[in-house]
Amino acid sequence: MYGSDRHSPTPLLKLKRGAGIRRNRPVLLAACLVYGSPILVAVGPLCLLFSTWYWLKHGSWVYFDNALILWFFDDVREWLLRPESWHGLHSVVSWAFQYLPVGLALVPLGLLSGVCGGILAANLQEE
């Protein structure tokens, strides 16, 4: 039943043996994007469900501030406060941070990161 024709599945991403973190950086980035995207997609609706449950029980809406995300990214925060370039993109991003709830913003962000990670992983496999 389990003869020599049985083979293990090929991993999506392979680290280069003997190489340091610097040479494996694209592989690690692709892995973070691919495997982190389901977390982002799941956390978004969970935030909305929690806020809805709290509103139904207590009568006040729990608002998760989008600015909390920016504390992890100093460059993006500085660009949002004082844009020096990409003014059109700045207006779109600042509108999204101002009016979209975190739950709705995380789902497309998770989907986008999964697609970008998949494209990066496919390109790395071709090399």
Range of the domain at 84: 65-100
Q: What is the pLDDT of residue 105?
A: 82
What is the mean predicted confidence (pLDDT) over 44-54?
91
Mark whether 105 and 58 lie in a shared domain: yes
Does pLDDT of 43 surpass 80? yes
Token pair for 26: 């694209």
Q: What is the pLDDT of residue 60?
A: 93
Q: What is the pLDDT of residue 15?
A: 61
- 19-52: burial string, b at 16+ Cβ within 10 Å, e else: eeeeebeebebbbebbeebeebbeebeebbeebe
Burial of 69 (0-12, 13-18, 19+ CB in 10 A): middle
Residue 17 lies in a domain: no
Does pLDDT of 83 surpass 50? yes
Count of structural domains, the chain: 2
Q: What is the pLDDT of residue 1?
A: 45
Does pLDDT of 56 surpass 90? yes
